Structure 1
């Protein structure tokens, strides 16, 4: 029961990630619709304006992720998810009902702000409710829901292609209201993060949540499970209470010590490197890329719909069977190396067989295959691992703000690529892909040399992984591995001290 409930909570919270995936997929279709082009009504500047429709959303995401660092500390993970869902309803309604381009762009910014909050909070929430041995799977469910949202969006977009009037683009944008409403109402019935509850001094509530996530004992076989729940809660409680003595909400904490600098660089790096994979270039501008390979508008949308199903299927098997076994570092290295290969082949194909000059069908198919392979490799590397690693490396006292900064870095580069990619593909064609070859080659080296392995560790054991501190807790005269606990000379207890070594 405990595992089932844990997975259910993570999946439901990840409806916020579904919204992210749906928007990424649906806007790729919407900007190709004839009725949307007529709505924009500026054929000469359509490439830059369609880029603005995409990038204003991602710009809003940046600021939403920045605010979420504060809201998660102040109001908790669950309330931050509700806030994101509420703002998403506002932004999606503005898009679907827009009567001019300015209203559309404002709606995109507002919706992006909401997704920024959700994209930072959902992995953080899932990280803090997950047992250490399956944390990769639990947090990876956020990426799974992004993929499912992308699948739904691509097929909705393909179906709406055949509609007449402005319903062609208003309907798919308006459908976002459904998952946003479900999330707003349903998350109220999900538990708070036990670690946030401990920070607020609500220890008994936190214990109840941990017991609920582990499952309530009903037989002798469950006694061991209860013991593990008690051990996890005690370690969580002792570490967090100790950290509260030195807690601050200063951004400078993220580079206060060499080890914190390493934590921050790893979290920011893995998010930025995920953007260097070029996956969102394909997600936003896939139909445009397929047209550069010689496909018609209808064929491009159909292929994009099929493409959208490949990643989530691969991601599901990876997070279920592989991620918590092989860890984080090896998949990241595999992904970066694979992207170098796929983009090298794609570059060679487009350079050797220009779509406006060649009708080589074999080359077209090979180019499409490389795009599909990029999705597969992303789904077994940066897709699930980036969200997992970025949210698990920080200590409790800086986890919200650290995850916020890492997510902001993700969205900053997302804005950059979403704004320039359409123009770059139209103006420099295959040369644009050279950037991704170089970036991923650099990523591979950095990950191999600097990134640690964090699989199987509790969030409180990350101090050991990064070698930055030893927690010294004075509590009840106990002595445990990795923690020196001793009573005061006068026999008093319940005093917690943290020392950085």
Structure 2
């Protein structure tokens, strides 16, 4: 399996990361918005503490709720209408929601538009890793699909630094409206580039569009130094054979098979568990309420915003490192390392907050800030980048969209519960709220290690075997030149003859 990916393949992956950037920026921008004096004054959040906590929780809660419904819609639409059409709709909804947020005149309008944005974001966060996984070769899939998590966190970082810059503006309306308005740019870019993005070849095969699928696979994974395009042909042969078998099995069970067929049921709950465990580290609670956390550790003025932006910049760098390591180290060891590191770091953060919050002890508060940064390094490099890759690859083609949607529901439901409760919990039980995440993460590490299989360097079709399903063709064994593949009269042609035929 010498061939990995072409320049064309990489370009398509990077175009798709505009959807990842959309999610990261739109999700993250609210963290700084909640700390902007202009936003606080506009919506009257500088008065009653209980009212401010309720509104803060609702702002994050409606976004997560919208994301849940968007993810569920994608589970159906991605299969029924294709990856490309779903991508365009998700991008369009996000643009509309972000524009309405920017122009909000009261808190009700802001909450509704935040929910609309969450709906579009929920669609994209399910769709993008599926799309990337289905056009990536096995030995580079971790690196390529890992760009999803990397660019999500890059969106966090951009939002953080934009928020730092506008904090010092004397125009209170500009302080919070301008950062939110930028949420429109990445999805607009995705819409503009969508004509050049091909449909997923694996989805095309489920619709019997074999010739269209082959043309895309050959362009994605063809080798200019190999006239026979051996790797692309072998890969395509495996796709065709496996789709036929999987479709036949699906016809016997239908949608009920998602939770009645043991191999499918295991994958559904495993995907949900992976995304749930990522949120149960407490990452979103720490990030969305980071300004308050740093204020508890003695930081004031614009410093919490600067530290927040630096925090997500470290996360972005960690994600890119994790994506690089993913195909070398494997999914399971990297994820276990990330969960363990987060658990330890959050334990140390909790100890510093419990002991030094509200005091003038600079050493203790400084160590608290250091452990927060250590936490995100483990989360970015070991959890964020891995979770999307793993969940996008464990499902067979005909249920990948439903499975990924269900997994992302795990993200949004966990986030909804944790961030909705956070303002009240942090106000009343304070640092003890973090103990919930520490204890649950310990349990999750044990479950991960003994339950989840490794998927490194396996094709999407071969991963079926790890869950007890039949794999018709293994890439290591197949030689399409001799065995013959569907469309043999076309794919078996020499390159010159194919090109002269207009194919």
Question: Are residue 301 (structure 1) and residue 305 (structure 2) matched?
Answer: yes
Q: Trace 1:36-435 onto structure 2 (pairs within 5 A).
A: 36-42=39-45, 43-44=47-48, 45-163=51-169, 164-215=171-222, 217=224, 221-223=225-227, 226-248=229-251, 250-320=254-324, 322-353=325-356, 355-356=357-358, 358-435=359-436
1:489 corresponds in structure 2 to none
* CA–CA separation in structure 2 for the residues paired with 1:241 and 1:340: 44
How far, CA to CA, are the matches of 2:471 and 2:386 in structure 1?
27
Give how far 1:223 is off: 4.0
Per the TM alignment, residue 250 of structure 1 is displaced from its structure 2 partner at its CA by 4.4
Query: What is the CA-CA distance between 1:78 and the residue it aligns to?
Result: 1.3
**1:237 to partner: Cα distance:** 0.8
Q: Give the superposition deviation at 1:410.
A: 1.1
Instruction: Give 5+ residue unaligned stretches, structure 1.
Output: 474-479, 487-501
Other structure's SS at 2:348 match: helix
| Contact 1:40–1:101 (Cα < 8 Å) also in 2 | yes
Deviation at 1:283, TM superposition (A): 2.2
Give the Cα separation in 1 of the matches to 2:435 and 2:321.
31
Counterpart Cα distance in 1 of 2:226 and 2:366:
54
* Shift in alpha-carbon separation, 1:472–1:346, aligned structure 2, 3 A: closer
Who is 2:495 aligned against?
none
1:29-73 Cα deviation digits (max 9, x unpaired): 101111111221252111110121111111100100000011101
SS in 2 for 1:380: helix
Superposed displacement of residue 216, structure 1: 5.2
The Cα of 1:202 is off from its aligned counterpart by 1.0
**DSSP 3-state at the match of 1:459:** coil
State the Cα distance separating 1:241 from its structure 2 match.
2.1
How far, CA to CA, are the matches of 2:196 and 2:152 in structure 1? 22
Deviation at 1:11, TM superposition (A): 1.6
In 1, the alpha carbon distance for the partners of 2:41 and 2:457 equals 53
Residue correspondence of structure 1 range 460-475 to structure 2 within 5 A: 460-471=461-472
User: Which of 11, 14, 22 does residue 11 from structure 1 map onto?
Assistant: 14
| Alpha-carbon distance between aligned partners in 2 of 1:258 and 1:191, rounded to the nearest angstrom | 33
Q: Is the 8 A contact 2:242 2:473 kept in 1?
A: no
* Offset of residue 251 of structure 1: 4.0
Contact 1:56 1:105 (8 Å CA) reproduced = yes
Question: How far apart are the structure 2 equivalents of 1:86 and 1:66?
Answer: 17
Distance apart, 1:153 and its partner CA: 0.3
CA contact (8 A) 1:22 1:152 kept: yes
Which residue of structure 1 aligns with residue 493 of structure 2? none
- Tell me the distance in 2 between the aligned counterparts of 1:315 and 1:437: 22
Structure 2 unmatched ranges of 5 or more: 484-503
Distance 1:2 1:243 in 2: 26
Matched, 1:28 2:31: yes
CA offsets 1:130-154 (integer angstroms, 9 cap, x no match) = 1000111111100111111111100
Length, aligned pairs only? 475
**C-alpha offsets along residues 391-435 of structure 1, whole Å, 9 cap, x if unaligned?**
111111211111111111111111112211222222211101111
**TM-superposed deviation, 1:255:** 2.2
Deviation at 1:471, TM superposition (A): 4.2
- Give the SS at the match of 2:172: coil
Q: 1:427, 1:469 → 2: CA distance?
A: 53
Distance 1:241 1:259 in 2: 18
